[in-house]
Amino acid sequence: MKPNQIAIVLSCSDREEESIQLAQRLDLPLVSSREELTAECKFYIAYGAEGLSLCMTGKAAPGPVRVDFSDPRLQYRIGDATKSQGIVKAVGLKGSKHPAILDATAGMGKDAFLLASLGCRVHMLERSAVVHALLEDGLQRARVDLDKHSIVSRLSLEHGEFGADLQCDSKVDVIYLDPMFPDRTKSARVKKNMFVLQKLLAGEQQNEKLLVQALNCARKRVVVKRAKTAPHLTAITPDIEFKGSSSRYDVYLTSKGASD
């Protein structure tokens, strides 16, 4: 995303200092209102009563996107027979086993939060500075929520790119990948959060390298989330597949993980 295509809007006066600091940290322009956005600006970020939001511009733009760990759909996933869900089986969570997980493409953090709710320690890595800022804001809000404090304590966040230069001296048990979305053949619009992130991050992720790099770093397994009918991430065939109604989890066991 080019710098002139995204800005920070100073929309909430009691968070003016935070907006200024964020603009400096992300090296993005700061404007007083949406009316000051240039024609080239496709997105803007703003603090509001419900936290930091990412918005698209234009008449047909969807509503604001924010990290919300109180989202009813996420809470339903946590409470609805969680341990039978494909993601839980895919990462190898059973009984007293709580693998240490690196979510190398954290996105909006929902899967990481779900796994942390089940006792796993999850380190989230996010390459986009904008998405990282949204995640950081969501975590800060969740920390003051007594119902979520213990879950958030098992989550950590880092701004960085998963790649060959990643230090793998202390390998994690599982590396979880939810890579950028494949081209869609259907005309129906995807969910709002995914649609906005697709537009924001289009062309930034190199999916082909992710799996090989992850296999070199994971101690037990690599889990790749895909759309149910999507092709495998690379020509490497997964050892196990767990299919849900719309998603599929491809599991690649490392040599050590194969015996677990």
Residue 61 lies in a domain: no
Instruction: Evaluate whether residue 242 is within a structural domain.
Output: yes
State the amino acid at position 254 in one-letter form: T
Least confidently predicted of 54-68, 195-209, 219-233: 195-209
Same domain assignment for residues 132 and 186: yes
Lowest mean pLDDT among 65-69, 137-141, 194-198: 194-198
Confidence of residue 207 (pLDDT cuts 50, 70, 90): low
> What is the rounded distance in angstroms from the CA atom of residue 217 to the CA atom of residue 220?
9
Could you tell me which residue, 180 or 69, shows the higher pLDDT? 69
Q: Compute the mean pLDDT over every residue in the chain, rounded to the nearest whole number.
A: 85
Q: Is residue 90 domain-shared with residue 15, that is, in the same domain?
A: no
Q: Is residue 165 part of a domain?
A: yes
Provide the CATH number for the domain around residue 227: 3.40.50.150
| Residue-level pLDDT at 188 | 43
214 within domain boundaries: yes
Q: What pLDDT sits at residue 84?
A: 72
Band (110; pLDDT cuts 50, 70, 90): very high
The confidence band for 169, taking pLDDT boundaries of 50, 70 and 90, is low
Same domain assignment for residues 100 and 132: yes
Instruction: Output the pTM of the full model.
Output: 0.89
Is residue 100, in this structure, part of any structural domain at all?
Answer: yes
Q: Are residues 199 and 93 in the same domain?
A: yes
Name the residue among 42, 45, 67, 41 with its Cα closest to residue 54: 45
Give strand ranges (E) for the chain: 6-9, 30-31, 43-48, 51-56, 101-103, 122-126, 155-159, 174-177, 221-227, 240-243, 247-253
Asked if 82 and 183 sit in the same domain, the reply is yes
| Assigned domain for 62 exists | no
Given a cut of 90, is residue 164 above it in pLDDT?
no
Cα separation, 140 vs 122, whole angstroms? 16
Q: Which domain holds residue 16?
A: 3-56
Strand partners, 94: 97
For residue 65, tell me if it sits in a domain.
Answer: no
- Whether residue 92 is found in the same domain as residue 28: no
Task: Band the pLDDT of 187: cuts 50, 70, 90.
Answer: very low
Averaged pLDDT, 110-114: 94
- Cα dihedral sign, 23-28-31-35: negative
Q: Examine the domain organization and report whether 218 and 253 are in the same domain.
A: yes
pLDDT of residue 13: 65
pLDDT band at 54 (very low <50, low <70, confident <90, very high): very high
Number of domains in the chain: 2
Identify whether residues 30 and 85 lie together within a single domain.
no
User: Partners of 43 in the beta sheet?
Assistant: 6, 56
Residues 6+ apart with CB under 8 A from 50: 66, 68
pLDDT tier, 185 (very low <50, low <70, confident <90, very high otherwise):
very low
Give per-residue pLDDT as tens, 62-101. 889 999 999 888 888 887 656 678 999 999 998 888 999 9
- Is the domain of 163 the same as that of 198? yes
35, 139: one domain: no
SS3 string, 36-53, reads: HCCCCCCEEEEEECCEEE
In a domain, 201, yes or no: yes
Confidence of residue 157 (pLDDT cuts 50, 70, 90): very high
What are the φ/ψ torsions at residue 110 (nearest 5 degrees)? -70, -45
Q: Are residues 98 and 47 in the same domain?
A: no
Q: How far is CA 15 from CA 9, 47, 49, 52, 92, in A?
A: 11, 7, 10, 10, 42
Q: What is the pLDDT of residues 6-44, one digit of tens each?
A: 999 997 667 899 999 999 999 999 999 988 998 899 999
Q: Decide if pLDDT at 218 tops 80.
A: yes
Domain check: are 9 and 51 in the same one? yes
